[in-house]
């Protein structure tokens, strides 16, 4: 059994946040004595990621996703616990480690502003000590994958936001990192770009056997790319497993979407929880066990034009998970 690429045991990160109250007098007092509050950004998480896996970190803002990625990439050092990537301790920032990994955050400008992206790529080549031939192969491949051939010769400042993001990503992957951390990669992009990016990540992983960890709010990212999902909230892991299993474990519900002849009248709450109503279209949430019975009743007692039984959307699933664990 090969060593896991990412190994995390009981990882914790605590921040001391100064407390500030409004008002001049408190500001003055604040100069002399600072009150500090401990914030547990990451509160004891453990997981392993094997080589070639693609894992999604899911959680609301402030859940600890970005903090975890920063610890795994060496930008933050650990408070307590064990974190190892590719056998290295990330906070040591060893050169060997930095040459094998990449952290891609949205909206970062690493490329030279006034020069064509190609020139910046050359800089990265020498920084990462990539052999020339491999560099050119990787570079051309990435340019082709992201379809930016005409863009790489223009000064970066002349590119639009989406175009800039693409060339920045190329810049970050020129050294063919084996581990890629993506922090909210599709944020701020339009739907087409989001899809393109997901396709790209999948293609990269496949071609280079890379291990990928990404954080996102967008269900579509996680659904499209990740086989495995880790749900994190308040710095703790709530779930770690298959996407499908998530639905199984937590949400023992089904949704029934029904189009009625005269659905706007009448109280349908007897059948189940009405979560949505749009004229004649009603969506009900029912416990899984009840599905067949409720369906039969609806068909018998109402004028049904159309009926759908579905798994609840991932968003709802997550919401239910969070709602459960929220007040701590």
Instruction: Give CA 60 to chain center in angstroms.
Output: 10
**46 close to 11: Cβ distance less than 8 angstroms:** yes
With binding defined as CB under 8 A, does residue 1 bind other proteins? Answer: no
Residues 233-272 that bind other proteins (CB under 8 A): none
Counting residues that bind other proteins (by CB under 8 A) gives 46
Interface pick for other proteins out of 7, 12, 81, 122 (rule CB under 8 A): 122
Contacts of 10 (CB under 8 A, 6+ apart): 44, 45, 46, 80, 81, 82
User: Which of 131, 279 has the CB closer to other proteins?
Assistant: 131
Q: Does 36 bind other proteins (CB under 8 A)?
A: no
Residues 91-120, interacting with other proteins (CB under 8 A): 91, 93, 95-96, 98-100, 102-103, 108-110, 112, 114-115, 119-120
- Give the whole-angstrom CA distance, residue 143 versus residue 152: 8
User: Distance of CA 254 to CAs 239, 273, 274, Å?
Assistant: 20, 11, 12
Residue closer to other proteins (CB basis): 91 or 247: 91
The footprint of other proteins on residues 137-166 (CB under 8 A) is 160
Q: Of 7, 30, 48, 52, which lies in the binding site for other proteins, with binding defined by CB under 8 A?
A: 52
> How far is 313 from 311, CA to CA, in rounded Å?
6
- The beta strand positions in 243-298, using DSSP E, are 253-260, 273-278, 281-287
Q: Per rule CB under 8 A, is residue 127 in the interface with other proteins?
A: yes
Q: Does 48 bind other proteins (CB under 8 A)?
A: no
Q: Nearer Cβ to other proteins, position 190 or 209?
A: 209
**Phi, psi dihedrals of residue 313, rounded to the nearest 5°:** -65, 150
In whole angstroms, the minimum distance from the beta carbon of 82 to other proteins comes to: 17
Q: Is 283 in the site for other proteins (CB under 8 A)?
A: no
Stretch that binds other proteins, among 121-129, 271-279, 302-310, 311-319 (CB under 8 A): 121-129
Phi first, then psi, for residue 291 (nearest 5°) are: -50, -50
Q: Which of 252, 218, 249, 245 is nearest to 229 (CA)?
A: 245
Residues 6+ apart with CB under 8 A from 110: 120, 168, 171, 172
| CB count in 10 Å sphere of residue 86 | 19
Residue 293 found at the interface with other proteins (CB under 8 A): no
In the complex, the smallest distance separating the C-beta of residue 126 from other proteins, rounded to whole angstroms, is 4
Residues binding other proteins (CB under 8 A): 2-3, 5, 15, 50-52, 70, 73-77, 86-87, 91, 93, 95-96, 98-100, 102-103, 108-110, 112, 114-115, 119-120, 122-123, 125-132, 134, 160, 178, 209
């Amino acid at each position: 059994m090969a060593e896991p690429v990412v190994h995390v045991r009981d990882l914790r990160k605590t921040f001391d946040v100064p407390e500030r109250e409004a008002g001049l007098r408190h500001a003055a007092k604040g100069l002399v004595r600072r009150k500090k509050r401990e914030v547990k950004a990451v509160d004891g998480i453990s997981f392993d990621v094997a080589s070639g896996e693609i894992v999604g970190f899911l959680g609301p803002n402030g859940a600890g996703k970005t903090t975890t990625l920063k610890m795994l990439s060496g930008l933050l050092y650990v408070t307590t616990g064990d974190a190892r990537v590719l056998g290295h301790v990330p906070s040591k920032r060893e050169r060997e480690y930095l040459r094998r990994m990449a952290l891609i955050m949205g909206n970062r400008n690493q490329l030279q502003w006034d020069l064509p992206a190609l020139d910046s790529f050359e800089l990265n080549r020498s920084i990462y000590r990539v052999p020339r031939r491999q560099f050119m192969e990787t570079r051309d491949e990435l340019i082709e994958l992201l379809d930016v051939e005409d863009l790489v010769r223009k000064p970066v400042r002349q590119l639009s936001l989406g175009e800039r993001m693409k060339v920045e990503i190329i810049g970050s992957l020129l050294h063919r990192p084996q581990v890629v951390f993506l922090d909210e990669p599709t944020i701020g992009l339009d739907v087409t770009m989001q899809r393109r990016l997901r396709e790209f990540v999948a293609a990269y992983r496949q071609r280079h056997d890379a291990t990928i960890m990404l954080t996102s709010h967008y269900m579509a990212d996680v659904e499209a790319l990740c086989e495995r999902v880790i749900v994190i909230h308040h710095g703790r892991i709530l779930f770690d497993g298959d996407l499908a299993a998530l639905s199984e474990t937590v949400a023992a519900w089904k949704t029934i979407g029904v189009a009625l002849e005269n659905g706007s009248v009448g109280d349908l709450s007897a059948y189940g929880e009405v979560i949505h109503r749009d004229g004649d279209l009603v969506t009900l949430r029912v416990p899984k066990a009840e599905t067949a019975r409720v369906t039969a009743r609806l068909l018998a007692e109402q004028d049904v034009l159309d009926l759908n039984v579905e798994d609840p959307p991932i968003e709802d699933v997550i919401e239910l998970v969070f709602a459960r664990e929220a007040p701590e």
